[in-house]
Amino acid sequence: MLRFKGLNLNYEWEIGNFRTEELYQHARNIFTPDADGLFIACTGLRTAEIIEPLEEEFGVPVVTANQATM
C-alpha cells in the first residue's frame, strides 16, 4: 500500500449522502502515479459512475468494495 486516506464519515447517512463528485476528487488527490491500482473501500459509497473515468485518467485498474463483493 502506497497511500491510504479515509473520508472521516461516521454515520450511514453521511456515507449515502457523500457526493460522487467529491469521491472522484478525493481519489484524484490520493492517487500516486507509481501505484499499480486504486481500491475504493466501503460498499455504501456510490462508485459505479466513477470507476471508468478514474481508470482512464490513471491508466490502472480501479476496484471498489462493491465490485470485490460481487
The pLDDT, as a whole number, for residue 12 is 87
Of 39, 16, 36, 13, which Cα lies nearest the Cα of 26? 39
For the chain, the domains span 37-70
Torsion of CA 7, 22, 3, 68, to 10 degrees: 80
Counting as low any pLDDT under 50, the low residues of the chain are none
Lookup: cell for 8: 472521516
The pLDDT, as a whole number, for residue 10 is 87
The pLDDT, as a whole number, for residue 67 is 93
pTM of the full predicted structure? 0.88
